[in-house]
Amino acid sequence: MNIVKITEKADGPLVIDGQINLIDARRIEIETHDKTRLCRCGMSAKKPFCDSSHTSTDFGAESGQSEEEFLNPKPVSRRREYLGSGVKVSFDASLCIHVAECLRLMPETFDLRARPWINLENADIQKVVDTVRACPSGALRHELDDEDSVKIEPESQSPTIRAWRDGPLRIKGEVEIINKDGETVMKADRAALCRCGASRNKPFCDNTHKMIKFTAST
Ligand code: SF4
Ligand code: FES
């Protein structure tokens, strides 16, 4: 199976190469073909698709460093690891979009007030894996000593991209994400990609859409 590639075009859309399931913010499934262009500047009138609005706006701060980016630089990606018996969980804070699924599903293990905040001692492995797989951004990942020690629900063959109302594009299913410089920045089965145009961590969402009160109903 060819892995679906998602490429961030410099000053332009996200180009998806390969078959995907696309769901808009109204939860309506939209037909797509083998190449799909999705808006990432936030300006398209045909969201989630790109309608070339980026060409008539000043979207493209990536071409040079703006004063704001200088004062407020891109977060550094660093994955920390937490060891349990039979399972290892890693966390990259630069990808976390703070929807708190982990805190809600497994507060005994994921606790922001504790140090370390992920404590896998005596944790149920199946619950850990289910919680990590509920993380929409890919900030959390797991590795198992024995892949057969837990049950993982099979996913549909093609990845699903769902436009979140007033928020990012959520990816579920194996994809390769390539940045505007042509570098593969992630190969994973979960990610949240910016579509408001304002993230400091493009192509990933960093929750700036909330700050700028981004709206997108489709
Ligand atoms: S994005 Fe992942 S790690 Fe961050 S709060 Fe949500 S579930 Fe937890
Ligand atoms: S969609 Fe742009 S920061 Fe979340």
Nearest C-alpha to atom 4 of ligand 1 is from which residue? 96
- CB count, 10 Å around CB of 160? 15
Task: Indicate if ligand 1 lies below 6 Å from the C-beta of 105.
Answer: no
pLDDT of residue 67: 62
Hunting for tokens 């894996």 — which residue is that? Answer: 129
pLDDT of residue 60: 72
Task: Indicate if ligand 2 lies below 6 Å from the C-beta of 208.
Answer: yes
Q: Please report which ligand is nearest the Cα atom of 139.
A: 1
User: What's the whole-number mean pLDDT along residues 146-168?
Assistant: 93
User: What's the whole-number mean pLDDT along residues 57-82?
Assistant: 73
Task: Indicate if ligand 2 lies below 6 Å from the C-beta of 199.
Answer: yes
Task: Indicate if ligand 2 lies below 6 Å from the C-beta of 198.
Answer: yes
Note whether 84 and 105 are within 8 A (CB): no
Give me Rg for the CA atoms of the chain. 18
What burial class does residue 200 get, using C-beta atoms within 10 Å of its C-beta: 0-12 exposed, 13-18 middle, 19+ buried? middle
What is the rounded end-to-end Cα distance, in angstroms, of the chain? 30
Nearest C-alpha to atom 2 of ligand 1 is from which residue? 135
- pTM score, two decimals? 0.93
pLDDT by residue (tens digit) across 93-133? 999 999 999 999 999 999 999 999 999 999 999 999 999 99
pLDDT of residue 65: 55
Note whether 218 and 184 are within 8 A (CB): no
User: What's the whole-number mean pLDDT along residues 162-180?
Assistant: 97
pLDDT by residue (tens digit) across 50-63? 999 999 887 875 54
- CA dihedral angle for residue 169, residue 170, residue 175, residue 181, rounded to 10 degrees: 40
User: What's the whole-number mean pLDDT along residues 153-180?
Assistant: 95
pLDDT by residue (tens digit) across 200-209? 999 999 999 9
Long-range pairs for 26-34: beta carbons < 8 A, 24 or more residues apart: 26/217, 26/218
Task: Indicate if ligand 2 lies below 6 Å from the C-beta of 40.
Answer: no
Q: Kindly list the structural domains of the chain, giving each domain's residue range(s) and its CATH number in brackets, ordered by start.
A: 4-72+155-211 (no CATH), 79-149 (3.30.70.20)
pLDDT of residue 27: 97
Q: How far does the centroid of ligand 2 lie from the alpha carbon of residue 164, in Å?
A: 10
The share of the chain scoring above pLDDT 90, in percent, equals 86
> Which mutation among 41, 200, 208 tests ligand 2's pocket best, with the greatest number of atoms within 8 A of CB?
208
CA of 91, closest atom in ligand 1:
3
Mean pLDDT of the chain: 93
